[in-house]
Amino acid sequence: MTTPLDAARAFLAEDFDSQTRAELTALLQRAEANDAVALKDLADRFTTNLVFGTAGLRGRVEAGTARMNRVVVAKATWGLGAFLLEQGPHHGVDAKKQGVVVAFDGRLSSRTFAEDACAILCALGIPVHLFFDPEPTPVCAFAVADLKAAAGIMVTASHNPPADNGYKVYWQNAAQIVPPIDDGVMQMITRAPKANAIARMHPPEAAAAGLRRIIGDDLELRYLDAVGRMSSHAAPAPGAEPLRLVYTAMHGVGHRLTIRALLRAGFDGVVAVPTQTDPDGTFRTVAFPNPEEKGALDLALEKARETDADLILANDPDADRLAVALKTGKGEYRALSGNEIGVLLCHDALTTKSTGTLKKLVITTIVSSTMLSRIARDLGASYEEVLTGFKWIANKAMEREKEGHWFCGGYEEAIGFSVGPIVRDKDGVGAAVRLAELARALKAENKTLLNRLDDLAVAHGLSHGTQWSVTLPGLDGLARIASVMQSVRVKPLAALDGHKVVRVVDLQTATIPADVVVLHTVDGARLTVRPSGTEPKIKLYLELVASVTSTDELAAARNTLAAKAARVQAEVKAALGV
């Protein structure tokens, strides 16, 4: 049996990066001297391998098979390239003709990983369409479709901590890979040569051979044109009071394109948070580069109060997510939840888009609010609910489009939104434009996004969502997460706040298995428990529902549901330890 020490020595022997070699050499020396902390660290790094989760490979950047580093990127790229060459023809893919798109965000190691991927694919004879500068994730997905590429690679860890990075793979349909493709790629990765033996083609050589192809600015223009065509609101009347916007890119790659997209949509004078506009892999002004996290929007809020902005828009570092806060009073702002933003965007599309004879379709995930299902039902639209991860939303949308549906939009509660078929992934740029256009149209009627949410609650039922998570890193954390999931399966809670649990759904036994357990109570409450697919966390989602007949009842109903949610959360924490 291979021990973590053996695995670490084998990794060191094939590692071609001086930084991770030095780091691992020092760690090995400590472990060989029986340093308990070093031995545990090695076990965390080398007992498992990274696998494609809800958003590809993702982990801390350091030496190890369970980490992100140049060895892992090299083998993943070789595995993808070999799969494309060997199995691609069976899936209608000609990699040597179509090529692979490679893009990267602004994290410290992203350009290096992207260049490694480019060099390895070119050595396999596969052309690479390379973005030479950091780019938003939705533009990478758009490029796969626009260039009719065989696949795409996006080097990003999205909203993860600064020490992390990741590697997303798109198939020729411009959606992230799903079974059996991801399983086939993972199997091919196990056949990869030692990382330092994988052939690489230097950039000048690859360019001279016509294999390294730099993507021009015209692709971004085509993306912006496509975003503009998705608009379903008329331009504001001459002299109308403008919607005042503050935008932050959260030290990511969204600033340039999002500002351009907003300008094209008629939003002049958008105020940016100046210290957060340019890519910075250290994310120096935020503790955690996720606009959902407490404190992440502090500088944007400061700028909004200074300019009396109506709305704050924030992308995460790779601009595939969108956070929103809106003014509720002088100097006062409220952040919208992912469910609220998703419902607003999807409802707006359902009620304003003209789709001819095609039936309108919206899609969300099993951990998102059920409110969208009620809206779709009441408006006569089609609705689908899929596993967590935007790859499932995108692939389901394309499946239903073949049956005569028009995909109006979809979302997941973790502030990820699609505003139609132009990008087969989350699109924080397009979502920012669509949300701003809706807010501007409502302002022309002396209304706000909150007024629209109130109207939707009265018309389709009130939903109250609470989500919390517990970070459990390392092997001990994995064991703890597995223990909690097993406990929920074997002995699920009998009641929530005194209301009997009448149905337990274990998605491990579903057609597409997932490590998710859902509890439903007699009064319509729903508790969903699952491990994160991108971070060492266990996540819990609670939804409570109520009916109201007028907006006058909303405040009391929301207070009642909030109090109940607090009681249920305390019960669950006590019962499960999370």
To the query of whether residue 158 is one of the catalytic residues in this protein, the response is: yes
The Cα-based distances of 159 to 103, 163, 285, 316, 375 in angstroms read: 17, 11, 14, 6, 30
Give me the helix-helix angle, 36-46 and 4-14, nearest 10°.
Answer: 70
Residue with tokens 């579903």: 510
The Cα-based distances of 131 to 57, 101, 104, 141, 282 in angstroms read: 20, 8, 8, 12, 22
Per annotation, catalytic residue among 110, 158, 382, 463: 158
Q: Using CA atoms, how far apart are residues 251 and 34, in angstroms rounded to an integer?
A: 41
The b-or-e profile of 266-281 (16+ CB within 10 A means b, else e) is ebeebbbbeebbebbb
Q: Using CA atoms, how far apart are residues 125 and 183, in angstroms rounded to an integer?
A: 23
Give the tokens for residue 189. 């990765």
Which residues are CB-contacts of 72 (< 8 A; sequence separation ≥ 6)?
Answer: 50, 57, 65, 167
Q: Where are the beta strands (DSSP E) in 453-525?
A: 462-471, 495-496, 499-506, 517-521
Burial of 325 (0-12, 13-18, 19+ CB in 10 A): buried
Q: Using CA atoms, how far apart are residues 250 and 252, in angstroms rounded to an integer?
A: 5
Residue with tokens 């419902």: 343
Are 364 and 372 in contact by the 8 Å Cβ rule? The answer is: yes
Catalytic residues: 158
